[in-house]
Amino acid sequence: DVKVTQSSRYLVKRTGEKVFLECVQDMDHENMFWYRQDPGLGLRLIYFSYDVKMKEKGDIPEGYSVSREKKERFSLILESASTNQTSMYLCASSPATGGDEQYFGPGTRLTVT
């Protein structure tokens, strides 16, 4: 089974802190994605990566950055957390070929106070 793990299920940070959300997948997938999920807004793509050290902006990249130094790991960074970044963050991965299915992790519920 494909497994996507996220470093924390719940996280509470203060405004202005630098926050790292980590995601690891064990299926050698080329593509990795970060979404945020908010009630009434669905899933919105923040950043994605289709290769090591490659990244592309999604629909809402402002206030976020990402890092992908190894194929299996994709990190989301909030340089200076703000209260409007309180949300559920979901990581996903997919293979480059053979289909478009994305496999999601369980999510990290981030609260910024």
For the segment 7-46, give every residue that binds another protein (CB under 8 A): 31, 33, 35, 40-45
Considering the complex, state which of residue 16 and residue 106 has its C-beta at the smaller distance from another protein. Answer: 106
Helix (H, G, I), strand (E, B) or coil at 18: coil
- Cβ 5 to another protein shortest distance, Å: 11
Which distant-in-sequence residues (6+ apart) come within 8 Å of 101 by Cβ? 94
In this chain, which of 74, 75, 94, 112 binds another protein, going by CB under 8 A? 94
CB distance 4 to 24 below 8 Å? yes
- # binding residues, another protein (CB under 8 A): 28
- Per DSSP bridges, beta strands 87-94 and 103-104 are antiparallel
Residue 9 in tokens: 């299920």
Whole-number minimum distance, CB 61 to another protein, in Å? 13
CA angle 108/76/28 to nearest 5° reads: 90
Give the residues lining the site for another protein (CB under 8 A).
4, 31, 33, 35, 40-45, 48, 50, 56, 58, 90, 92, 94, 96-97, 99-107
